[in-house]
A and B are shown apart, each in its own frame.
Chain A
């Protein structure tokens, strides 16, 4: 019934019985409803189609109209995916062990992700079916609304709505110019037939010359006015679209940014907006005008001579077929050309950005060879494109020449026999060329339309993205005391792997929590959720008893500060970066914060001191320096809740000691999370939680955890052993 995605019918929600494998309908029980059916593209180790059918009671796998798996949802604990080189395998964890369900290629992975979440919601997360159903129905409707091509065109045009008067004005001007532009050949006809050939009517000669002059003048003036109006329309339109996009981008959550690369977002804002803008301001008008012109001139041509008109039509199918073939082949050629060029660029960027690698491994010569080879290949390709082009255009041009020669021949005969006036023949040939022009342009502009629709689609993908972090209407703003609670929180970035699994945690105001655990265990994720950078799929996070999605984002941003693992700085001065956390800071506050974060000394050693520009993303500073500037900014913010994600990881031991002291000062009386790999950083915390694979596995003070003989003790001992080893080495060296 309902189809999603470009791969037609690979996934169907609430399908009707005809759309399902026949076996399914036979075994459906009463009250059993098919939620979704999805087709894989691998079956029995080859390309093929297995179907997964999810009902509200079980998961079924169908191959060649046989049910090969039939597992009640009640028996499933959860489903998960194993990713391999060319394939993914979906598995179900059941009471009787893990069972493989279905395999598919990466092409289908994005569709299966949705199914996996769905099954996990029904099994692992124990969400009642009626809630899942309601949610799903809403989503499906939403997607259906967005997916129509014709709607995209209408929506694109709606961008120009505030400027409709400009659009109408330019269109009217263009139309008017075109019509006036059609007059001269007709005046020429009169000139030849009534003045030149009969050699009389001299007053008419003067009128016609004056007429031609005024037409020319009018066209020039209209051209200038039109140019100005178009530019204005152009600029207002791009401004509007880019503004809409940028505003939307700022409201989107980090989850959105994880999905799209920076490059692709920038290309949408720059290239796609340009394409849509060009289409709306130029091509759209031209399409309308060209269609009218073609009709108009067509009528004139036929009224001048219907015989000649038929001959004039000959080259049109020839050139249409020609360009179609041309496009088919040229795409291959140009694609190859583009690939060669992008290879040149790749070699170049690689060499510049990874220059340190090239240098340290002494690979300069190899890189040089690679570069010159890529250039030679690109040049070679350019020549083959040229050769190819030379085969086509002359041939098509020739068909036009032939038809115009035919017209001179037949038309000439008719003039000689007195059937046609000389003026009509000249008018005819000059109208004929004006007839071809809009046809060619129309074909081109229809292609622009096609491309603009694709760009429009990409723009609307951003505008319609619902990964937005929004304030609810009844969101509150209040001063935090610092009480925090995580209640059964589940979170996944990609819909497959849960980075947090059923996290429960209570923190009292002013309490200091240390978080430790292996890399990838979800420590950073845990704290990011508190800032509402992402929203958990299940469960609640509360600050002072209020769910965080009911707290104004602004209130959270103001009272919670985070020092990230790899802090990014703004491309601005050090002073500006430190004062990000507070408005109207005094110079003394900036200096004090920097001193507390042990940044003042290194800043004062820079010639431009606090006015030093940090470069793009802070690239002109070292990791440890960036970290200390971020800490200074957090100190200035004076937050109620403070999050430090490995605040000292990039520092040497002495500076770490100093910064830890600064942090102790800073965190006094504030609810604080400190994530640390070096357990020594955590000596002053009230409680340590130990995370492993998305869950909290141990909790307690250092002493309590050491008694437990669990993961914490292991982590501690491995670090301590390393330390002892080092100490031994130092002693050996000293002994010598």
Chain B
């Protein structure tokens, strides 16, 4: 009841957005990449063991939030591809392990006769055999397709129309 005076104006989202720490890619530099952390410089300050995270790993993979070792948020990079070439390369190394999502290039075989479907797929990370439940797909709003296997690993089809006809015919069975 003491707060009536502060309530004169509506705070809207626009005001709050200003409090986000959006980083300027020119003032961010990645020096070293370990398996899942990086050492980096943000606005002239050095941070070690920084954890990069994607808030939208499928829909906007270019969007990165950096967390310090103690989980405080260091800032947001709206498109990491704007970093300088070396920084970008180092960061990508780390992202590739944190977001280990094989891209499906071809479906070699799909066996739907058992309750767990068995797939042989060619991905950008090699050929594998995976097992999924009969309901295993999820369409993303941008038209990409995710496939989850029984253990919770994720595989992505970036562009269905680029697959060969046989692979597409296989996908028609499940998606």
- Point out residues on A near B: beta carbons under 8 Å: 510, 512, 573, 575-576, 587-589, 591-593, 595-596, 603-604, 607-611, 613, 635-636, 638, 664-670, 683-686, 701-703
Contacts and interface: CB of A to CB of B under 8 A. Distances in A.
Interface string B1-12: 111101111111
B56 A638 contact: no
12 contacts: A587-B55, A587-B60, A588-B20, A591-B76, A593-B13, A604-B67, A636-B13, A665-B16, A667-B7, A668-B9, A669-B7, A684-B3
A611 B148 CA distance: 14
A510 B7 contact: yes
Contact of A669 (B8, B53, B54, B67): B8
B97 interface: no
B56 A587 contact: yes
Contact of B56 (A611, A664, A665, A701): A611
A510 B59 CA distance: 38
B52 to A, nearest CB: 12
Nearest to B154: A608
A218 B10 CA distance: 78
Contact of B11 (A510, A607, A609, A666): A666
B78 A587 contact: yes
Nearest to A613: B138
B56 A610 contact: yes
Contacts of A589: 13, 17
A664 B13 CA distance: 14
Given A575-B56, A587-B60, A587-B78, A701 B1 contact: yes
Contacts of A596: 16
A665 B6 CA distance: 10
Nearest to A512: B7
B13 A592 contact: yes
A605 to B, nearest CB: 9
B141 interface: yes
Interface of B: 1-4, 6-13, 16-17, 19-20, 22, 53-60, 63, 65, 67, 76, 78, 138, 140-141
A690 B2 CA distance: 21
Binding site secondary structure of chain A = helix
Nearest to A683: B1
Contacts of A636: 13
Contacts of A603: 55
Contact of A685 (B1, B10, B53): B1
B155 to A, nearest CB: 14
A591 B55 contact: yes
Contacts of B20: 588, 591-592, 595
Contacts of B54: 609
A611 B22 CA distance: 20
A669 B1 contact: no
Contacts, number: 82
B1 A684 contact: yes
A734 to B, nearest CB: 29
A216 to B, nearest CB: 36
A383 B53 CA distance: 63
A664 B10 CA distance: 11
Contacts of B60: 587
Contacts of A665: 11, 16
B interface secondary structure, majority: loop
A596 B18 CA distance: 13
Given A665-B16, A686-B1, 4 more contacts: A587-B60, A604-B65, A608-B58, A703-B1
A111 B139 CA distance: 49
B138 A592 contact: no
B8 A609 contact: no
A121 to B, nearest CB: 41
Nearest to A594: B55
Contacts of A702: 1
B50 to A, nearest CB: 14
Given A610-B55, A611-B57, A592 B11 contact: no
Given A591-B76, A610-B55, A684-B1, A668 B11 contact: yes
Nearest to B59: A611
Contacts of B17: 588-589, 592
A588 B2 CA distance: 33
A683 B3 CA distance: 10
Contacts of B2: 684
A576 B141 contact: yes
Contacts of B58: 608, 611
Nearest to A701: B1
A703 B2 CA distance: 12
Nearest to B141: A576
Nearest to B101: A608
A100 to B, nearest CB: 49
Nearest to A670: B10
Contacts of B65: 604
B12 A638 contact: yes
B43 to A, nearest CB: 19
Given A592-B17, A668-B6, A668-B7, A608 B57 contact: yes
B120 to A, nearest CB: 25
A587 B1 contact: no
Nearest to B51: A604
A299 B22 CA distance: 90
A588 B141 CA distance: 18
Nearest to A669: B10
A667 B65 CA distance: 28
A709 to B, nearest CB: 20
B11 to A, nearest CB: 5
A156 to B, nearest CB: 35
Interface centre among B3, B9, B11, B140 (most CB of A within 10 A): B11
A604 B51 CA distance: 12
Contacts of B6: 668
B156 to A, nearest CB: 11
B57 A638 contact: no
Nearest to A702: B1
Contacts of A685: 1
Which 7 A-B pairs give the minimum distances between C-beta atoms?
Answer: A669-B10, A611-B58, A609-B55, A592-B16, A592-B17, A610-B55, A668-B7
A594 to B, nearest CB: 9
B13 A609 contact: no
A596 B14 CA distance: 12
B63 to A, nearest CB: 6
A669 B11 contact: yes
A638 B17 CA distance: 13
A619 to B, nearest CB: 15
A610 B59 CA distance: 9
Contacts of A604: 53, 55, 65, 67
Which of B55, B56, B60, B140 has most chain A Cβ within 10 Å?
B55
A659 to B, nearest CB: 15
Contacts of A670: 10
Contacts of B57: 607-609, 611
Contacts of B55: 587, 591, 603-604, 609-610
